[in-house]
Chains A and B, each alone.
Chain A
């Protein structure tokens, strides 16, 4: 039996519990035993990307402590996975701690974003999902350019029964969330999001899907404000959806 640790991410844990719940349902359906190490908190990305590297370093140590003993860690977030895989080495170097740097080098390749884990580790693209809706997919920047997940999420979505998957114009352009950028440069962030939402509405999709709830909070927040009626959903929820338990 495959056994993985779920890194729910602090944002999902607190504000979007349905996403890690869907991740658990999906993985269990695929025969995976999921652990949720309760001592986990946050990957530290908000601190790192805002310039508070010193505040992020204890979170690197804690991540290693919590997840270091697992063969595989899965997170339903391209951004948080990217933070661990792309930034932890620099933070360990800043800490000037060779032991931590070695632990990071040893640990971080075992941390996977959900679509990577499904396609690369489990070797599945048809996860037995059913989602009879018109859907468009936004590839979040960190999934796309930090993790290079490529078309893995699309391959998974194409295999979903009943789905009507439509291409999103300007898909690879940033939605404008960008972490604290959304607050510090709110006007530019909203201008970017406005164009993203316009493209989404052009597709006449009922649902916009992405692999990061942070980007979806921004996109969904704009869609809601416009009373567009378009739902924003995490990839995990679409993949977990079945005829018996529809999302």
Chain B
């Protein structure tokens, strides 16, 4: 566990403790190993089961009360597809309108470039800390780590992000990053960590949610009032007005978006919507899909700079980081419709058991399993395993507010993983798949193989189910019995009862 270093601030001579962010996801083991570890954590499994089922039920309730939900989904998907088909045009329009409104636009090809731009902008303000609005884009590029390396503390102000940051933990959910923690764990984190980086938690802190929120509020208040620079992401970027939009629940985001003198927003290039009117559809789709609310408590919009009101210096970093290569795939590009609602996580039976850390990325769950390997490529072991981290049950598609065909994309990515390994030394799996394909290519070969199965049935006598299977089927039989082979296949029965002259 790291202890916070103290730096002498160059601005104002104030003694500001430094944040220590956690290690990154790079080099994580592949999904099955991480999932196995997570499954052994019974407290986490209980927390996840409770949280996902609660929010799943809330979402279903508020979605069911919308008579034209399917029409909204179609509209949302259509709007996103329209943007993606002409992304260059909309981005230039966005840049133009942002610039006209007094913002400065920066273009970043990858995480390094985006981080360098933000670090330089913060340094130019001669500050050693920034306050942050919860943002997936900045997590994706590991901006906090980059700022820290430059001696700048990045304070997360979203309650759940604060819990993750103070706990030296990784987020395990898009919307509720601390979903895997319960109240008493949060109390312990606050008591142990808050004092190291700012206002300590009260000595008599209990695990009552109101008391925990109050401790966070007091801890964050001094950071809001002190910060000269804020960093945000955005939920939507409106091309025809140059307006950025953030939806949130707690109001912490609005504090960051209004109090500091400088605002830096990191915006994934897929966040564009053509017009202000298009926002209406997404303002209905997003809150219901994500928090299960009819409307989120805080929606903030800002259009460049307004003299005398809010940040007087506004920077927008338009981030690619793999998005244009996803865009190049006509089928895969639908993953860029994602509005980060996390409905697919909450309904996913695999996510519910394995938790978010097993996915080795800031984007966990079904959408992470298709988005991450597309953004990063399928070169690493963890990225090769992600498309297989699904039973293809299809629940994710049904809840997706922008109709991303996640099961189809998973199968497509599995095909990509297999294709990339063709030509090299074949794996045991590839060998058995080839052998099975050969057998199924001709029914006479299948019948020969079936004769071996029915012949083996004599070995098992009257047993109908088997407890131990030989390798490689042992991963089946560790917890599951298997059916004993039948004495007669269906086709043998058919021949006997319905065959010619039978």
Contacts and interface: CB of A to CB of B under 8 A. Distances in A.
A52 B437 contact: yes
B35 interface: yes
Interface stretch (B142-150, B182-190, B483-491): B483-491
B394 interface: yes
B478 to A, nearest CB: 7
Interface residues of A, number: 70
Nearest to B410: A49
Interface string A11-32: 0111111101100100000000
B36 to A, nearest CB: 5
Among B39, B350, B387, B395, the one with the most A-chain Cβ atoms within 10 Å of its Cβ is B350
Contact of A14 (B353, B450, B478): B450
Contacts of A24: 494, 498
Contacts of A191: 39, 45, 353
Given A190-B480, A222-B480, A13 B489 contact: yes
Interface stretch (B18-26, B102-110, B438-446): B438-446
A15 B397 CA distance: 32
Contact of A21 (B417, B429, B446, B493): B493
Interface string B356-400: 000000000000000000000000000000011111111101100
Contact of A50 (B39, B418, B449): B418
A20 B490 contact: yes
A192 B489 contact: no
Interface string A187-202: 1111111000000000
B387 to A, nearest CB: 8
A188 B350 contact: yes
Contacts of B475: 183, 186
B349 A174 contact: yes
Interface of A is mostly: helix
Nearest to B437: A55
Contacts of A183: 472-473, 475-476
Contacts of A142: 394
Contact of A141 (B353, B354, B392, B495): B392
A217 B482 contact: yes
Interface in A186-227: 186-193, 217-218, 220-222, 224-225
A74 to B, nearest CB: 14
B224 interface: no
A149 interface: no
Given A39-B443, A145-B394, A185-B35, A47 B437 contact: yes
A90 B412 CA distance: 10
Contacts of A18: 486
Among A20, A62, A145, the one with the most B-chain Cβ atoms within 10 Å of its Cβ is A145
Interface string A51-88: 11111101100100000000000000000000000010
Interface in B451-502: 453, 465, 467, 472-473, 475-476, 478-483, 485-486, 488-495, 498
A12 to B, nearest CB: 6
Contact of B350 (A16, A17, A185): A185
B448 to A, nearest CB: 12
Interface in B193-226: none
B421 to A, nearest CB: 9
Given A51-B418, A145-B395, A225-B467, A218 B480 contact: yes
Contacts of B5: none
Contacts of A46: 436
B16 interface: no
A40 B443 contact: yes
B151 interface: no
B394 A146 contact: yes
Contact of A15 (B390, B415, B486, B495): B486
Contacts of A187: 32, 35-36, 39
A38 interface: yes
A153 interface: no
A225 B476 CA distance: 12
Contacts of B414: 49-51
Interface in B240-276: none
A242 interface: no
Contacts of A154: none
Interface of A: 8, 10, 12-18, 20-21, 24, 34, 36, 38-42, 44, 46-56, 58-59, 62, 87, 90, 94, 141-142, 144-146, 172-174, 176-193, 217-218, 220-222, 224-225
Given A42-B446, A172-B395, 12 more contacts: A14-B446, A14-B489, A17-B492, A40-B443, A51-B411, A54-B422, A55-B434, A59-B437, A173-B395, A185-B388, A187-B35, A191-B39
6 contacts: A14-B450, A42-B446, A51-B387, A52-B418, A185-B31, A188-B353
Interface of B: 31-32, 35-36, 39, 45, 349-350, 353-354, 387-395, 397-398, 408, 411, 414-419, 422, 429-430, 433-434, 436-437, 440-443, 446, 449-450, 453, 465, 467, 472-473, 475-476, 478-483, 485-486, 488-495, 498
